[in-house]
Amino acid sequence: MNPLSKKPIRHTGIVKARGSNASRRGTRQALIAIVSAYALLQMSALHAQTLSTPQTGQHGGYFYSFWTDGGGQVSFTLGANGNYRSQWSQVGNWVGGKGWRTGGPKTVEYSGSYSASGTSYLALYGWTRNPLIEYYVVDNWVNYNPSTGATRLGTIESDGGTYDIYRTRRVNQPSIIGTATFDQYWSIRRTKRTGGIITSKNHFDAWASRGLRLGTHDYMVMATEGYQSSGNSNITVRERPSVEVPPDSSVNPPILTPPEEDPPAGWVAPVNALILSHETD
């Protein structure tokens, strides 16, 4: 029989493609993961916002404030949630941060990085109205000596550190209500740090015990400031959930010491001799 005359065998079953279903699923999942990661990166880039002019607003669920006098170069980028990044070079004066409007008693937790050359600091920074008060809880500083011309009013132990308390007066300077005369309240941490917890109520209570009265809280941010300096920071802030405690105990209680106590020998407290106030509204 001529072999060419044989009829072809008809296959009625489904011919399987090479490779297992498991490997195809793995490939699909890998592709989906790559696409999803790329989409997240794109969304993050879209949600990030770099500011160049003074302004305030809401971003990522947090209030932000950014101010510059226009000198030098400043890049202030709003990141996801409570994050912001800053980079500045040969500036006159600038300040920016993320936090809350309104401010007030909060357990503030922050982390990140901070570096500068020239005058700069990292602080929980805010304002009140009636009376108009500008306040700072300074955790880190560079080349910044605010003891000149300041009234030292004692110390407070809070959140694992010792802070010196000061009061200064600003006359006809920019503020959140325009040019005005107002007091500044300061808590300056002796041991520098970048990251940790700041229990703002402890400082408010310590100030009040020294006769430093606050008004109605406006905004409060974890701020970076530079004055005639260069540097960078990458800070993420959040409010730590409050903890219920028994009436006979407290969380991070302040420990006050008499005003006449002197700081350790050789230590120089930071002072508001050069830093300017800022109009943010």
The CB density around residue 134, as the number of other CB atoms within 10 Å, is 23
Model-level pTM greater than 0.75? no
In a domain, residue 74? The reply is yes
203-258 confidence digits (pLDDT tens): 999 999 999 999 999 999 999 999 999 999 999 999 998 665 454 544 555 556 55
Domain range for 154? 55-257
Give the pLDDT of residue 94: 95
In a domain, residue 48? The reply is no
Task: Report the C-alpha gap between 162 and 67 in whole angstroms.
Answer: 30
Give the pLDDT of residue 88: 97
Task: Report the C-alpha gap between 98 and 82 in whole angstroms.
Answer: 6
In a domain, residue 19? The reply is no
Give the number of domains in the chain. 1
Widest CA span in the chain? 121
Contact 219, 101 (CB under 8 A): yes
Query: Between 9 and 109, where is the model more confident?
Result: 109
Give the pLDDT of residue 130: 98
Mean pLDDT of 99-125: 97
Confidence band for 38, pLDDT divided at 50, 70 and 90: very low
114-123 confidence digits (pLDDT tens): 999 999 999 9
Confidence band for 84, pLDDT divided at 50, 70 and 90: very high
Confidence band for 30, pLDDT divided at 50, 70 and 90: low
Residue 107: CA count within 13 A, CB half-sphere:
10
> Catalytic positions, please?
134, 225
The CB density around residue 235, as the number of other CB atoms within 10 Å, is 25
252-275 confidence digits (pLDDT tens): 555 565 554 555 455 444 444 334
Confidence band for 149, pLDDT divided at 50, 70 and 90: confident
In a domain, residue 236? The reply is yes
In a domain, residue 47? The reply is no
Mean pLDDT of 141-163: 87
Which residue intervals of 183-278 are DSSP H helices?
Answer: 200-209
In a domain, residue 225? The reply is yes
In a domain, residue 281? The reply is no
Give the pLDDT of residue 52: 85
Q: Which of 163, 171, 115 is nearest to 143 (CA)?
A: 115
SS3 202: helix
CATH number, domain with residue 181: 2.60.120.180
Structure tokens at 150: 């300041």
201 pLDDT more than 60? yes
Give the pLDDT of residue 253: 58
In a domain, residue 31? The reply is no
